[in-house]
């Protein structure tokens, strides 16, 4: 395993971060525990969850994922050996079953209290805002339109999170599904008002969506805000199983037909070309896709997910692969001809 530190801290984390959003829906508690055991034994010490999980989000299953992590922590006694990241859900129709009050002080307090109980711990290492309260370019939206309903509350949110840090319930903070303006606003509030500093940004990043490189990569490198890349496998499209027609009925895109972000004609065309590069260089598409992310200079964690141990092993083993300049050149040639087909 390879390790780095959460930016601006002495907290050592594995570059492979174990994602968990299938646990409690596609995966049982026993399967979640088996994944945690295997990953931990391979040197993975970084686990990502959210109060929203598992996905798809609904009132019946909400919080199950963190409960599964909590029972594993209790069973193994590994709490002091792992770094746990979680998130508070933002506003939106699909999270109204959790709350509708956004990132108010009361919401943050209630969310952390409930998550600590589910995780069976008294602190969370990295606490993230799952997406902005304002409507902006997130979840595949390309064209920006000004949200005139939202009132700037960056300072207020950071004050609320600061109270939680002082209380010892969270250690550090980050954002997710955020853009450059929002990231810089949080950093400015930190600089000018002695408030907590965001240290990570969790955004989608894969061979099919490299939009992070447009401007956020510069923010990440110059401001030392590490990317936690989610959906690095593009909902399994970059495993090649849908292209080859050997995906199981339990595969995400077969179960959840409305998840079409990575299934457009252009995305499929690009993935097919990436598959040829991988096979031509003796690699699986999954490992080439993940190795590409592992090598990026702005990466703090590559959040992998799997529904079985075979997939998990392949994904974790990607840390041992170093892509050559020739392979990277071939990848960039495709990216230049079909840029970001799944934003």
Residue 270: partners with Cβ closer than 8 Å, 6 or more residues away: 207, 208, 334, 338, 341
Catalytic residue among 3, 53, 127, 205: 53
pLDDT at residue 142, as a whole number: 74
Residue with token string 């993230």: 128
- Condensed to tens digits (0 to 9), the pLDDT of residues 85-100 reads 999 999 988 899 999 9
What does the chain come to in residues? 343
CA distance 156 to 39: 38
Which segment of 146-150, 176-180, 270-274 scores lowest on mean pLDDT?
Answer: 146-150
- Condensed to tens digits (0 to 9), the pLDDT of residues 59-71 reads 999 999 999 999 9
Taking 80 as the threshold, does the pLDDT of residue 118 lie above it? yes
pLDDT at residue 249, as a whole number: 63
- Condensed to tens digits (0 to 9), the pLDDT of residues 126-147 reads 999 999 999 887 766 778 888 8
Q: Which of 14, 118, 133 is nearest to 74 (CA)?
A: 118
Pair of tokens at residue 28: 């049982």
259 is catalytic: no
Q: What is the mean pLDDT of residues 96-120?
A: 97
CA angle 303, 118, 27 (to 5 degrees): 50
Pair of tokens at residue 16: 């492979």
Q: What is the mean pLDDT of residues 278-290?
A: 97
Taking 60 as the threshold, does the pLDDT of residue 332 lie above it? yes
337 burial via Cβ count (<10 Å: 0-12, 13-18, 19+): exposed
| Per-residue confidence band for 251, with pLDDT thresholds at 50, 70 and 90 | low
Residue 120 falls in which region: left (phi positive, over 0), alpha (psi -120 to 50) or beta: left
| Per-residue confidence band for 302, with pLDDT thresholds at 50, 70 and 90 | very high
CA distance 317 to 289: 12
CA distance 130 to 256: 21
- Mean pLDDT in the chain? 94
Pair of tokens at residue 127: 């606490």
| φ, ψ of residue 241 in degrees (nearest 5) | -70, -30
Structural domains of the chain sorted by starting position, each given as residue range(s) with its CATH number in brackets: 3-236+296-319 (3.20.20.100)
Pair of tokens at residue 306: 């799997």
pTM (whole model) above 0.75: yes
């Amino acid at each position: 395993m390879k390790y780095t530190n959460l930016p601006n801290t002495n907290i050592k984390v594995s570059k492979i971060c174990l994602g968990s959003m299938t646990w409690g829906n596609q995966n049982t508690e026993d399967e979640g525990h088996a994944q945690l055991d295997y990953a931990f034994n391979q040197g993975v010490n970084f686990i990502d969850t959210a109060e929203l999980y598992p996905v798809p989000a609904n009132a019946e299953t909400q919080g199950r994922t963190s409960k599964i992590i909590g029972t594993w922590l209790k069973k193994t006694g590994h709490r002091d050996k792992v770094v746990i990241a979680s998130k508070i859900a933002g506003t939106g129709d699909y999270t109204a079953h959790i709350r509708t009050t956004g990132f108010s002080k009361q919401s943050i307090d209630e969310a952390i209290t409930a998550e600590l109980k589910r995780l069976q711990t008294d602190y969370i290492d990295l606490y993230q805002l799952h997406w902005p309260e304002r409507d902006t370019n997130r979840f595949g939206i390309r064209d920006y339109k000004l949200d005139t309903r939202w009132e700037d509350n960056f300072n207020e949110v950071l004050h609320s999170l600061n109270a939680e840090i002082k209380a010892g319930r969270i250690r550090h903070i980050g954002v997710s599904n955020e853009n450059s303006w929002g990231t810089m606003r949080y950093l400015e509030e930190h600089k000018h008002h002695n408030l907590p500093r965001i240290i990570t940004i969790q955004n989608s990043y894969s061979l099919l969506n490299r939009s992070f490189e447009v401007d956020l990569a510069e923010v990440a490198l110059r401001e030392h805000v590490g990317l936690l890349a989610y959906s690095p496998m593009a909902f399994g499209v970059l495993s090649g199983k849908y292209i080859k027609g050997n995906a199981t009925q339990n595969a995400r895109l077969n179960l959840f037909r409305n998840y079409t972000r990575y299934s457009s004609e252009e995305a499929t065309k690009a993935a097919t070309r990436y598959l040829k590069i991988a096979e031509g260089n003796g690699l699986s598409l999954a490992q080439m896709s993940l190795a590409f992310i592992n090598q990026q200079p702005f990466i703090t964690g590559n959040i992998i997910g799997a529904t079985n141990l075979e997939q998990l092993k392949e994904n974790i083993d990607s840390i041992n692969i170093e892509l050559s300049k020739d392979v990277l050149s071939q990848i960039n040639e495709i990216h230049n001809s079909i840029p970001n087909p799944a934003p």
